[in-house]
Every structure is written in structure tokens, then in C-alpha cells.
Amino acid sequence: MSEEQKPVRIRADRDVCIGAGMCVMTADQIFDQDDDGVVVLLEPEPPAQYADLVRRAVRACPSGALSLVED
């Protein structure tokens, strides 16, 4: 699918994040939590094969801190 080939760009709003860790549980290659539990992007523009996983993480995030930047 051509959709899958596009690179993904993630935006994480650290002020909105409540540290629920759903993103880390969904894709720990891409998301981490700092010592305060707040989201950290290990990979702000992950390769296309992660697109699905990233979308899942965005959907799972309870606080709305995560979004995809569509070009």
C-alpha cells in the first residue's frame, strides 16, 4: 500500500502527556519515558515500516499528547 510507504513524522506534546506509558508499551523502539515519566521520542521520524505501530500508539495514547504530522 502506498500509504504504508510514506515516512511518518510524530509530534509529542510533553505538556499534555500524563505519562500513562501506553506508547512505550505499544512501540518501545520509538517511544520512551524520561525520569519524570513524560514521553520522549527515540525516533521522531521512524522508517515507513513502523507506520502501523506508530498509528497504534497514537490511538492508544489517553491524553492526546501524540499526533502524526501529515505533509
Partner 1 sequence: MSESMTLPLHMRRAEFDPAAELAAVRDEEGVRKVRTVFGVDGWLITRFADVRAVLGDAERFSNAHQMVFRIPGMPQRTDEEIAELRAGNLLAFDPPEHTRLRRMLTPEFTVRRMRRLEPRIHDIVTEHLDAMERTGPPADLVTDFALPIPSLVICELLGVPYDDRADFQRRSGRMLDLSLPPQERAAASLESRVYMGELVARAKADPGDDLLGMLVREHGEDLTPAELAGIGSLLLLAGHETTSNMLSLGTLALLRNPEQLELLRKEPERIDAAVEELLRWLSIVHSGMTKVTTTDVEVAGQRIPAGEIVICALPAANRDPALAADPDRLDIGRDSLGHVAFGHGVHHCLGAPLARMEMRVAFPALLQRFPGLREAGPEPAFRSFNVVYGLSSFKVAW
State the residues that interact with partner 1 by CB under 8 A: 18-22, 24-26, 28, 33, 35-38, 56, 59-60, 62-64
Q: For the window 26-55, what string marks contact with ligand SF4 as x by the rule CB under 6 A?
A: -----x-x-----x----------------
In 3D space, the residue among 39, 44, 45, 46 whose CA is nearest the CA of residue 61 turns out to be 39
With respect to partner 1, which residue has the nearer C-beta, 10 or 27? 27
CB of 22 to partner 1, least distance (A): 8
User: Smaller CB distance to partner 1: residue 38 or 41?
Assistant: 38
Q: Compute the distance between CA of residue 42 and CA of residue 71 in angstroms, rounded to an integer.
A: 21
Residue 20 in 3-state DSSP?
Answer: coil
- CB-side neighbour CA atoms (13 Å) of 53: 17
